[in-house]
């Protein structure tokens, strides 16, 4: 790779050199805090999984409040969309369990003419539901949107001009063509992505800054809370196979997808796309983005306790492999991109590799390979890995890997 490509892959001043990765030791996901070896599936389920889940919740993402009972309402009669290829549903899901909002809007496309309930990929989007396809019937988001830093104004994509601007990342016509539904929620409906002192989004509904401590929920835990509410609604939707809902996310929302898969075993499969540090990449490698950088650039994503590990990754009593292992034995796919060194593709591969003993203990194949594959080759057993050629993004090639993997591991 040329020096230019390396520079464009992430900010300067961070390590992009494999030779400079320090020696590190990974905590064994199959050893309890008391030092006992986890000997079987029963012990994983009864002792170690709950212990590891509680540890990562307390030290990294923070504890979210319980979800309300589902209160949802169709915003329109299911309608033909995408030139007759899909049926579109728009659903309002309340955050309070009552008709009086606030809430979020879930947009769902199911393949037209499906013979039975279909598997659905559910993920949060970055710019509003109207950006996911060029379907003119989806309203432009009225929720919080990030500022356009250069112009000093609201992001122009939160206007009609943004319609379809993320369609390449969502590939709805391609997915419905392969028999999968796609469901998405704008993450800004759930919690604005800014360090706002917990004054807005769903944090505000649950006491805001009042009574918070180091283990109180950050934004990733809030987005996860919303995703789970989306799953509650999807499970009720005719035409959806609630036992085959795949949770997908890119980048910060890939970190979110991993946490959602960990806390909610109803997700039948998890896809982490370029999730990097704080996601699928081993933080102890200190390659690309670091824990300190995450905590300073995005102080609202994780809980306060996570700051203990800024410039101190060696002290983490867990790492990405532990987070990944919480999805076992359900299938999990990790995708990376060759130019996305900031997210440490090799660290993401190793996250999957070192989580694999948990799949094996539970009687399933883990990654099944020990060397990183060449680009564009999907590998794996119940843990999959795919390295796309190109930059930090989601493309049709990623979606092809998602659905090839899902076709193999998610039988009705």
Catalytic residues: 251, 392
What token pair was written down for 242? 């609630």
Q: Applying CB under 6 A, does 251 fall inside the site for ligand GCU?
A: yes
CB of 338 to ligand GCU, least distance (A): 16
Enumerate residues 118-147 that contact ligand GCU by CB under 6 A: none
Give the C-alpha separation, 247 to 269, whole Å: 6
> Is residue 177 within a helix (H) or strand (E), and if so which, with residue range?
helix 172-177
Distance of CA 263 to the CA centre of its chain: 12
Whichever of 62 and 288 has its CB closer to ligand GCU, that residue is: 288
User: Binding string, 288-317, against ligand GCU, x = CB under 6 A?
Assistant: -x----x-----------------------
Toward ligand GCU, which CB reaches closer, 267 or 342? 342
Residue 179 and residue 182: Cα distance in Å, rounded?
10
Q: Nearest to residue 82, comparing CAs of 171, 208, 18?
A: 171
Rounded to a whole number of angstroms, the minimum distance from the CB of residue 65 to ligand GCU is: 24
State the burial class of residue 110 (Cβ atoms within 10 Å of its Cβ: 0-12, 13-18, 19+).
buried
Say whether residue 277 binds ligand GCU (CB under 6 A).
Answer: yes
Q: What minimum distance in Å lies between the beta carbon of 398 and ligand GCU?
A: 14
What is the C-alpha separation between 406 and 409, in angstroms, rounded?
5
Which positions from 323 through 382 interact with ligand GCU, judged by CB under 6 A?
342
User: Which residue's CB is nearer to ligand GCU, number 64 or number 258?
Assistant: 258
Say how many residues touch ligand GCU, by CB under 6 A. 7
Q: Is the Cβ of residue 89 or residue 252 nearer to ligand GCU in the bound state?
A: 252
252 binds ligand GCU (CB under 6 A): yes
Nearest to 253 by CA among 135, 394, 143: 394
Distance of alpha carbon 305 from the chain centroid: 21
Determine if 216 is a binding residue for ligand GCU (CB under 6 A): no
Cα–Cα distance list, 267 to 9, 250, 286, 348 (Å)? 32, 17, 30, 21
Site for ligand GCU contains 157 (CB under 6 A): no
276 near ligand GCU, judged by CB under 6 A: yes
User: Does residue 218 belong to the site contacting ligand GCU (CB under 6 A)?
Assistant: no
- Grouping H, G, I as helix, E, B as strand and the rest as coil, residue 273 is strand
Q: Which is nearer to ligand GCU, 290 or 356 (CB)?
A: 290
CB atoms within 10 A of CB 36: 12
Closest contact distance (angstroms) between CB of 315 and ligand GCU is 20
Q: How far apart are CA 205 and CA 200, in angstroms?
A: 8
Query: Which residues lie near ligand GCU (CB under 6 A)?
Result: 251-252, 276-277, 289, 294, 342
């Amino acid at each position: 790779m040329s020096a230019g490509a390396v520079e464009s892959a992430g900010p300067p001043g961070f390590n992009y050199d494999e030779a400079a990765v320090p020696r590190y030791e990974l905590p064994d996901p199959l050893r309890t805090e008391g030092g006992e070896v986890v000997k079987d599936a029963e012990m994983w389920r009864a002792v170690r999984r709950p212990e590891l889940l509680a540890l990562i919740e307390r030290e990294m993402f923070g504890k979210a409040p319980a979800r309300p009972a589902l209160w949802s309402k169709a915003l329109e009669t299911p309608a033909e969309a995408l030139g007759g290829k899909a049926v579109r549903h728009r659903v309002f899901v309340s955050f309070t369990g009552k008709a009086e909002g606030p809430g979020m809007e879930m947009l769902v496309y199911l393949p037209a003419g499906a013979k039975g309930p279909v598997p659905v990929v559910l993920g949060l989007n970055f710019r509003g539901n109207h950006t996911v396809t060029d379907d003119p019937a989806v309203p432009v988001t009225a929720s919080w949107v990030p500022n356009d830093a250069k112009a000093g104004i609201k992001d122009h994509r939160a206007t009609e001009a943004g319609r379809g601007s993320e369609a390449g990342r969502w590939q709805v016509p391609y997915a419905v063509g392969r028999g999968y539904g796609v469901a998405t929620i704008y993450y800004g409906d759930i919690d604005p992505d800014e360090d706002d002192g917990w004054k807005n989004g769903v944090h505000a509904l649950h006491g805001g800054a009042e009574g918070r401590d180091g283990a109180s929920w950050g934004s990733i835990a809030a987005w996860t809370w919303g995703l789970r509410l989306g799953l509650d609604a999807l499970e009720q939707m005719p035409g959806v196979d609630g036992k085959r809902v795949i949770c997908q996310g890119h980048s910060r929302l890939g970190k979110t997808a991993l946490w959602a898969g960990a806390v909610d075993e109803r997700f039948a499969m998890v896809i982490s796309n370029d999730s990097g540090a704080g996601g699928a990449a081993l933080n102890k490698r200190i390659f690309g983005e670091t824990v300190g950088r995450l905590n300073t650039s995005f102080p609202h994503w994780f809980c306060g306790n996570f700051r203990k590990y800024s410039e101190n990754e060696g002290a983490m009593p867990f790492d990405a492999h532990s987070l990944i292992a919480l999805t076992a034995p359900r299938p999990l796919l990790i995708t990376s991109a060759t130019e996305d060194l900031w997210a440490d593709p090799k660290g993401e591969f190793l996250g999957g590799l070192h989580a694999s003993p948990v799949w094996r203990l539970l009687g399933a194949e883990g990654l099944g390979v020990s060397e990183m594959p060449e680009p564009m080759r999907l590998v794996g057993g119940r843990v999959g890995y795919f390295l796309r050629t190109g930059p930090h993004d989601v493309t049709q090639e990623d979606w092809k890997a998602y659905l090839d993997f899902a076709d193999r591991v998610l039988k009705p």
